[in-house]
């Protein structure tokens, strides 16, 4: 069989493995990746793709899963890649700026020669919204206006139906962690909706707390992320949405800031926050799982990653959207503080799913709100073109109803 090295000289973290994923998906080949490094001070969410078997990897590796329908494996050594290439065609992305081992290409090439494995090299160049093979000038993949990597060219921008706000910088969502934009686009396509995106700077919103930024939105998405400086602004957005009937969906950190918005209503704005964002705050809404146990005395994981199972509570909005036992990709070290749940429930929050034998709140909602639902996991990583996640579908349906009611 053969080893296919796909060179792509890009400094965009969201494109790590993208062109190689397109090659692998088009050919039906295997896909493996080597150790990579990123400037996480500049790009905090560059290594936030959750591997199904557990652990984190480059965020751009979501493209292989989306295009192939197969899970990404953890990073591999050169020997493991060469062993696999004995029996299958294996595509490997090579991005010089992100390589940890600069001699990995030489090791793969010499190792393949010694084992009698054919080596094919494809060099990729960016050409507008396409990725081309330098030697043949053929198009390997396209990138649409939502940043999705596709094997076919998408149509132009349709007339806009509604505007969705996403907390975070456009560059972060487009160039660092691309899965959130992609999952929204998947759901919009399934509903035949044309949406525009407005990016809401959480740092600026925390400073200004200007509601005019949000008033004409049809809905708002609160994403996950590793950068704690975004928490105050994202929580303020959640608080506005809670009080102003703005459809809201939260993913991982997004659910945490939604629950914290309810805690602000319960305990006061200055008194409650995530322990991760403010270790000295009086009331910690989310606390570390390390050292804690479930009801049976089993230790909780200090870091919950990979494919997990959550149990949806009966008679909740979420139970109408997904099955009673549902898979979800998880990546978190903190859980909703169980000691404050009764107080939050008194002020409108409802736990809609749990995991780890009930020890972790996996989803929340606010009954009576037009749509205020969050999941501790990462449903965006389960979304595909043609198979969007049901939570995002439900969110856009609520946003559409909100748009129609305000337009009439």
Identified catalytic residue from 65, 174, 380, 389: 380
The single residue of 33, 95, 378, 389 carrying the catalytic annotation is 378
Write down how long the chain is: 408
Catalytic-residue membership of 378: yes
Q: Are strands 118-127 and 130-133 parallel, antiparallel or unpaired?
A: antiparallel
- Residue 389 among the catalytic residues: no
Chain position carrying tokens 């507008």: 128
Written in H, E and C, the secondary structure of the chain is CEEEEEEECCCCHHHCCHHHHHHHHHHCCEECCCCECCCCCCCCCCCCEECCCCCEECHHHHHHHHHHCCCCCCCCCHHHHHHHHCCCCEEEEECHHHECCCCHHHHHHHHHHHHCCEEEEEEEEEECCEEEECCCCCEEEEECCCCCEECCCCCCCCCCCEEEEEECCHHHHHHCCCHHHHHHHHHHHHCCCCEEEEEECHHHHHHHCCHHHCCCCCEEEECCCCCHHHHHHHHHHHHHHHHCCCCEEEECHHHHHHHHHHHHHHHCCCCEECCCCCCCCCEECEEECCCCECCCCCECCCCEEEEEEEEECCCCCHHHCCCCEEEEEEEECEEECCCCHHHHHHCCCEEEEEECCCCEEEEEECCCCCCEEEECCCHHHHCECCECCHHHHHHHHHHHHHHHHHHC
Q: Determine the Cα angle at 231 with ends 225 and 235, to 5°.
A: 115
Cα angle 58, 62, 63 (rounded to 5 degrees) comes to 115
Return phi, psi of residue 196, to 5°: -110, 155
> Measured between alpha carbons, how far is 405 from 14 in angstroms, rounded to an integer?
37
- Give the active site residues: 378, 380
């Amino acid at each position: 069989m053969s080893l296919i090295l796909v060179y792509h000289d890009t400094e965009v973290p969201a494109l790590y493995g993208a062109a190689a994923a397109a090659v692998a998906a088009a050919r039906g080949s295997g896909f493996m990746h080597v150790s990579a490094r990123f400037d996480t001070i500049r790009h905090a969410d560059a290594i936030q793709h959750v591997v199904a078997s557990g652990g984190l990897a480059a965020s751009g590796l979501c493209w292989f899963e989306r295009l192939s329908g197969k899970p990404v494996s953890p990073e591999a050594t050169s020997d493991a890649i060469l062993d696999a290439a004995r029996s299958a065609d294996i595509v490997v992305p090579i991005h010089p700026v992100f390589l940890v081992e600069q001699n990995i290409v030489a090791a793969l090439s010499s190792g393949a020669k010694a084992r009698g494995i054919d080596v094919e090299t494809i060099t990729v160049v960016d050409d507008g919204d396409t990725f081309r093979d330098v030697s043949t000038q053929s198009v390997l993949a396209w990138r649409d206006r939502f940043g999705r990597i596709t094997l076919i060219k998408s149509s132009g921008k349709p007339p806009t139906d509604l505007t969705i706000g996403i907390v975070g910088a456009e560059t972060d969502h487009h160039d660092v962690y691309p899965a959130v934009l992609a999952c929204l686009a998947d759901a919009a396509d399934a509903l035949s909706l044309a949406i525009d995106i407005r990016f809401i700077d959480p740092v600026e919103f925390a400073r200004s707390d200007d509601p005019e930024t949000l008033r004409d939105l049809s809905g708002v998405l609160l994403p996950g992320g590793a950068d704690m400086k975004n928490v105050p602004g994202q929580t303020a957005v959640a608080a506005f949405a809670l009080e102003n009937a703005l459809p809201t969906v939260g993913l991982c950190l997004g659910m945490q800031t939604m629950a914290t918005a309810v805690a602000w209503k319960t305990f006061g704005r200055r008194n409650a926050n995530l322990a991760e964002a403010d270790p000295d705050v009086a009331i910690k809404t989310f606390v570390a799982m390390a050292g804690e146990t479930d009801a049976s005395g089993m230790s909780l994981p200090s870091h919950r990653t990979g494919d997990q199972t959550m149990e949806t509570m009966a008679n909740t909005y979420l139970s109408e959207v997904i099955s009673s036992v549902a898979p979800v990709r998880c990546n978190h070290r903190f859980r909703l503080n169980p000691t404050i749940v009764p107080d939050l429930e008194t002020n409108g929050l409802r736990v809609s799913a749990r995991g780890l034998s009930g020890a972790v709140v996996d989803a929340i909602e606010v009954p009576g709100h037009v749509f205020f639902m969050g999941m501790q996991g990462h449903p965006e990583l389960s979304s595909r073109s043609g198979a969007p996640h049901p939570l995002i579908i439900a969110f856009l349906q609520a946003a559409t109803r909100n748009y129609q009611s305000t337009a009439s």
